[in-house]
Amino acid sequence: MKPLEYPEPVKHLILQLKQLPGIGPKSAERITVWLLRDRAESVMQSIAQSLMLADQEVGECGVCGFFATSTGCAICDRSGRDSSVLCVVEQATDILPLEKSGAFQGYYHSLRGRISPLENVGPADIRIDALMSRLRQGAFAEVILALNSDVEGEATANYLMELMAPLGIHVTRLAQGLPAGGGLESADELTLLRALEGRRSM
Amino acid sequence: MKPLEYPEPVKHLILQLKQLPGIGPKSAERITVWLLRDRAESVMQSIAQSLMLADQEVGECGVCGFFATSTGCAICDRSGRDSSVLCVVEQATDILPLEKSGAFQGYYHSLRGRISPLENVGPADIRIDALMSRLRQGAFAEVILALNSDVEGEATANYLMELMAPLGIHVTRLAQGLPAGGGLESADELTLLRALEGRRSM
């Protein structure tokens, strides 16, 4: 006797959801069952519509890499930004927290990833050409590399540093050290090493 | 200056995904960004289509409560099942693991939940009427209550037990005890109590 299975459309939806980041087989099944049970509010229809709307309307800004719509890019189109500083981030989502900090008023360049040989991501895959051509136009006096402080982030930063050296632009990196409110007892050795190396006189 | 935000369709998709069970604001944002980045495979379109297909084609079997399509219910329509035993479960997803165990060949009745005053779920909300009318038709000699062994599951089982008493049907419950392969040192006190109470001669 063939074992009992979910109907095809249910299995198919579980498979589709399983490919999302952070969603395993169990979560995909739980979400599917929840969706099928709470039909009254037609959650499935509205999620499906949001997906299609986002797919149709949202693109990548050709200049900075942030999300853009047909009405333009909320960063590049905004007047009053500081056109002498460019902040390079790994991905578009890194831009919002930097904006929220209120400490940066310049322009952004999202790389769409970082160099990672293990994941087959090389320099050609992460919008470095676009970055270099922006810099060669000569308006930026400083480039801030706001990359993650893990191995791939460091490697990408070093690669960019070498590439930018001939341009004579001032290149800086985000400070590393204790997180705000973080105690010494919860900091790992590398963080403490960096915090010591980067110590400042009071 | 108005703070920078994602474009409307992006914000809307994040909001939609956030309502799914187990998906918090951070996960919803990560999934949205992942979807917008991996556009090439048109994952968004295929997820949207799966959602709409499941919404249109999948319903609840009016008899057992398992997922059914226009071609019928994979449980109720299948010949060769044991029509003398009915297994009552809390939700449709509990049916597959019981089927996989291979130990049950009878019919199922999914309650679509359990009695939970805290979540405003009363006896009228969980298909108990449908269960009783199935039992009154008189074909089942035994009812197995395969409910969870937590507080709500126990309460629902006790409620059903009282309700079924006048029908004179043999009502059983799943055994409680040590899980297969589980050691005594990792079992909690209540599990050990139940395992002792339910001990069997060898």
The answer to whether A12 contacts chain B (CB < 8 Å) is yes
Residues A137/A169, Cβ–Cβ less than 8 Å: no
SS (H, E, C) chain B: CCCCCCCHHHHHHHHHHHCCCCCCHHHHHHHHHHHHHCHHHCHHHHHHHHHHHHHHHCEECCCCCCEEECCEECCCCCCCCEEEEEEEECCHHHHHHHHHHCCCCEEEEECCCCCEHHHCECHHHCCHHHHHHHHHCCCCCEEEEECCCCHHHHHHHHHHHHHHHHHCCEEEECCCCCCCCCCHHHCCHHHHHHHHHCCCCC
Q: Residue A91: which of B33, B45, B96 has the nearest Cβ?
A: B33
Mutation choice for B interface testing from A2, A47, A105 by most B CBs within 10 A: A47
Chain A residues with CB under 8 Å of B30 CB are: 21-22, 93
* Residue A3 DSSP code: P
Cα-to-chain-centroid distance, residue B99 = 13
| d(C-alpha A126, C-alpha A131), whole Å | 9
Of B165, B117, B172, nearest in space to B147 by CA: B172
Structure tokens at B85: 């035993």
Q: Are residues B130 and B90 in the same domain?
A: yes
With bands split at pLDDT 50, 70 and 90, how would you rate the model's confidence at A97? Answer: confident
- Per-residue pLDDT, B44: 86
Residues A35/A44, Cβ–Cβ less than 8 Å: yes
Residues B127/B66, Cβ–Cβ less than 8 Å: no
pLDDT reading at B41 higher than 70 = no
Cα-to-chain-centroid distance, residue A164 = 22
The answer to whether B79 contacts chain A (CB < 8 Å) is no
pLDDT reading at B140 higher than 70 = yes
Closest approach of B28 to chain A, Cα-based (Å):
10
The answer as to whether B46 is a domain residue is yes
The answer as to whether A50 is a domain residue is yes
Q: With H, G, I as helix, E, B as strand and everything else as coil, classify residue A78.
A: coil
Chain B residues with CB under 8 Å of A69 CB are: 7-9
**pLDDT digits 0-9 by tens, A27-55:** 999 898 888 876 655 788 888 999 888 88
Of A191, A39, A63, A126, nearest in space to B58 by CA: A39
The answer as to whether A156 is a domain residue is yes
**pLDDT digits 0-9 by tens, A103-145:** 888 999 999 888 998 989 898 889 999 999 999 987 899 999 9
* Residue A98 DSSP code: H
**pLDDT digits 0-9 by tens, B53-75:** 888 888 888 899 888 888 888 88
pLDDT reading at B1 higher than 60 = no
Mutation choice for B interface testing from A51, A57, A60, A91 by most B CBs within 10 A: A51
The answer to whether A10 contacts chain B (CB < 8 Å) is yes
Q: Are residues A85 and A126 in the same domain?
A: yes
Find the mean pLDDT for residues A49-75: 88
- Per-residue pLDDT, A39: 62
- Per-residue pLDDT, B136: 92
Average pLDDT along chain B: 86
Average pLDDT along chain A: 86
- Per-residue pLDDT, A160: 94
Q: Are residues A74 and A167 in the same domain?
A: yes
The residue count of chain B comes to 202
Chain A stretch 56-75, residues whose beta carbon is closer than 8 A to a beta carbon of chain B: 57-58, 60, 67-69, 74-75
For the ranges A16-20, A82-86, B180-184, the lowest mean pLDDT is seen at B180-184
Question: What is this model's ipTM?
Answer: 0.71
Q: Are residues B71 and B130 in the same domain?
A: yes
The answer as to whether B116 is a domain residue is yes
pLDDT reading at A165 higher than 80 = yes
Q: Residue B13: which of A22, A32, A50 has the nearest Cβ?
A: A50
**pLDDT digits 0-9 by tens, A76-91:** 888 888 999 999 999 8
Q: Are residues A44 and A140 in the same domain?
A: no
The answer as to whether A132 is a domain residue is yes
Residues A109/A89, Cβ–Cβ less than 8 Å: yes
Q: State pTM to two decimals.
A: 0.71
Surface-to-core class of residue B13, CB atoms within 10 Å of its CB (0-12 exposed, 13-18 middle, 19+ buried) = buried
Domains in chain A: how many in total? 2
Q: Are residues A32 and A77 in the same domain?
A: no
The answer to whether A41 contacts chain B (CB < 8 Å) is no
Strands B106-110 and B82-89: parallel
Q: If you measure CA to CA, which chain B residue comes closest to A101?
A: B3
Q: Are residues B156 and B124 in the same domain?
A: yes
Look at B20 and A5 and tell me if their CB atoms are within 8 Å. Answer: no
The answer as to whether A32 is a domain residue is yes
Chain A stretch 97-156, residues whose beta carbon is closer than 8 A to a beta carbon of chain B: 99-100, 112
Q: How far is CA A80 from CA A6, A84, A107, in A?
A: 56, 12, 11
Closest approach of A102 to chain B, Cα-based (Å):
9
Q: Are residues A26 and A87 in the same domain?
A: no
Q: Are residues A117 and A164 in the same domain?
A: yes
The answer to whether A94 contacts chain B (CB < 8 Å) is no
The beta-strand segments (E) located in A51-187 are 59-60, 67-69, 72-73, 85-89, 107-110, 142-146, 170-173
Look at B16 and A53 and tell me if their CB atoms are within 8 Å. Answer: no
Q: Which helix (H) or strand (E) holds A133?
A: helix A128-136
User: Which residues have a Cβ under 8 Å from the Cβ of B158 and sit 6 or more positions away?
Assistant: none
The answer to whether A172 contacts chain B (CB < 8 Å) is no
Q: Are residues A23 and A101 in the same domain?
A: no
Chain A residues with CB under 8 Å of B21 CB are: 30-31, 34
Residues A86/A144, Cβ–Cβ less than 8 Å: yes
Cross-strand pairs, B95: none
The answer to whether B48 contacts chain A (CB < 8 Å) is yes
The answer to whether B11 contacts chain A (CB < 8 Å) is no
- Per-residue pLDDT, B2: 66
Residues A10/B58, Cβ–Cβ less than 8 Å: yes
Cross-strand pairs, B171: B143
The answer as to whether A36 is a domain residue is yes
Look at A23 and B31 and tell me if their CB atoms are within 8 Å. Answer: yes
Look at A43 and B19 and tell me if their CB atoms are within 8 Å. Answer: yes
Q: Residue A55: which of B44, B55, B58 has the nearest Cβ?
A: B44
The answer as to whether A185 is a domain residue is no
Q: What whole-number percentage of chain B has pLDDT above 90?
A: 27
- Per-residue pLDDT, A41: 59
- Per-residue pLDDT, B39: 62
Chain A residues with CB under 8 Å of B23 CB are: 31
Q: Which residue range(s) make up the domain with A35?
A: 8-57
